[in-house]
Structures are given as structure tokens and as C-alpha cells.
Amino acid sequence: MLNGFLENGSALDDLLQNGLFYLSGKIVVAGPTFLWPTELLLAGLFIIILFAIFLLGSAVIHRFDKREMSIVENQLREIRVVEAQLAERTKDLERSNHDLAQFAYVASHDLRAPVRAMKSFAQILVTDYTGRLDSEADEHLGFIVDGANSLESLINDLLAYSRIDTQGKVFEPVDCSAVFDQVKTDLLMDSDHAEASVTRDDLPTVMADGTQMMQLFQNLISNGIKFHSEAPPVVHMSAERNEKEWQFAVRDNGIGIDPEHVERISAMFQRLHTQEEYPGTGMGSAICKKIVERHGGKIWVKSKIGAGSTFFFTIEASGVT
């Protein structure tokens, strides 16, 4: 009997270790893997809360994204409207510039004939009647001839300005040293420029419009000669490679420019001196600026009163040396 009791006790220990025991003739689970109803309820409630937080967060994020997308779409629509307006205004500006260029060309071209006629007859009057009239009449005839000459120069410069875009040539290799030498020869043939010293370093060959490069060099060099001080004019041109472009420099020992007037000199018809001091139309710098810009470059000047000026301009290198 004792043995049976011990055997039953051993079996009871095994049942307890395995989480099983008899209660009123029934087997009940009591191990650590068992979850009581209260714990199951809390676990389920926790899962439901997590799921609700997830749904709420998704709804908030979706609403936020939707609002942000609406703002972005409105901004994109506004940008497209502005771009369309800008494109239309650019087209209008291009048409306006083209019309103005055509008008300047036609007007200046058609004005040349009557101005030449006026100038010719004024010179005839000066030749035939100087001294035969009184001194006041002679002075007035001189004013007529001077005015005709100024008007002819202005028309020629306006025509040259309008032709930069309308009659520009296809770019080709241009030897800048040869262009400089030709311009120098032409300018120094003028007796007024006989004392000028015009020199250069070795200049590169660039892809450009040869005729316009001739205009550019002539304007810059002649300005260096014209606006000289009491000392004989000295003009020197140099060039250096700067990444993908050539930077030219035209240095003179002239009267210089007040820094606050530097921006004015590139505008059309802008003059810093009277016609009596330094004759000209005020178009030279504007022509230079337009030529350089057609060649994809820029032009600027550094100067001080009484210390001369240096004009810089750039031309794309384009693989040509």
C-alpha cells in the first residue's frame, strides 16, 4: 500500500511539473504557458489600441500628404503660368528688337542719300562763296558743313550698329594679330595719329566674324589714341587664355574715366565730353559691346581719371589657338 501511495505521489509530481493536476476528477492546465482570461483580454485590448493608433496615424499622414500635394500642385500651376507669360514676353521682346533693328537699318540706309546731298551742296557753297559774303555768312556755312559731317557719321554708326546682327557673317578662324596690324596701319596713316605708339603682344586666332573684329579693334584702339592727355598716346593690346575663352586687354595712357561714369560709355549716344573737346557720335562703345556679345563674350573697363584706361573683352576659345 505504501508503495502504491509513493507511486501515486511520484505521478502527482510529474503532473504538477507538466502543468497538469486533477481537480474534482478533471485535468486542469496550470503551467507557465497558460494565459488567464484577464491577461487575454488585456492583450487583445493592447492590440486593438495599437491598430487604432496605426489607423489614426495613417489617416493623419494621408491627410497631410494630400494637403501638401495640393499646395505643391497649386505652386506648379502658378509656375507654369509665369513661365508661359515669360515665354510670351520674350517672344514679344524678340519681335520688338527685330523690328527696331530693321527700322534702324532702313532709316539710316535711306537717310544716307539726302545727307550726302546736303553735305555736297554745303561744301560747294563753302568753296564758291567763302570770302564773297560777310564773315558771319562764312561762319554759318561752316556750321552747315560740320553739322552735315556729324549727321553722316551718326548715320554710318547707326547703320553699323544695326548690321551687327542683321548682316553678321558666319564665324571662321580670324588671326587677331593680322587684324590688329591692319587696323594699326590704317589708323597711323592719319597725320593726327602720327605720334601714337600702338603695340601688341602675340594675339590668338579665334572663331569670329572678321569684319566685326576689325570694327571692334578699330574702335578700341582709336579711342585710346583719341582720348589722350598731353603725353603722346600709347596703346597696347594683349591676350591671355582664361579657361574656355580668351581675355583681351587694350590699355592706354589717356585721360581716364571717372568710375561712376563707366556704365554710361556702353550706352548708345552717351558722351562724357563735348563735341568740341573730342569729336564723335557716342556710338563706338555701344558697337563694341554688341559685337562682343554676338561672339558670346563680355566687355568691361577699368579706369581712373588721369591714369589711363584698360578695356577688357572676352571671346570664346573654341579650340582655336
Range of the domain at 300: 169-321
Helix count and strand count (H, E) for the chain: 6, 9
Q: Enter the pTM of the model.
A: 0.58
List pLDDT tens digits, range 297-320: 998 888 877 778 888 999 988 755
Q: Is residue 122 part of a domain?
A: no
Contact between 317 and 241 under an 8 Å Cβ cutoff? The reply is yes
Residue 173 confidence (pLDDT): 94
Per-residue pLDDT band for 242 (boundaries 50, 70, 90) equals confident
Percentage of the chain surpassing pLDDT 90? 18
User: What is the arithmetic mean of pLDDT over 208-221?
Assistant: 91
Cell of 249: 586687354
Residue 297 confidence (pLDDT): 92
Q: Report which of 112, 109, 142 is spatially closest to residue 125, judged by C-alpha positions.
A: 142
What sign has the CA pseudo-torsion 46, 51, 57, 63?
A: negative
Higher-confidence residue of 301 and 269: namely 301
pLDDT beyond 80 at 274 = no
Q: Is residue 90 part of a domain?
A: no
Structural domains counted in the chain: 1
Cell of 29: 492546465
Q: Is residue 293 part of a domain?
A: yes
CATH of the domain at 267: 3.30.565.10
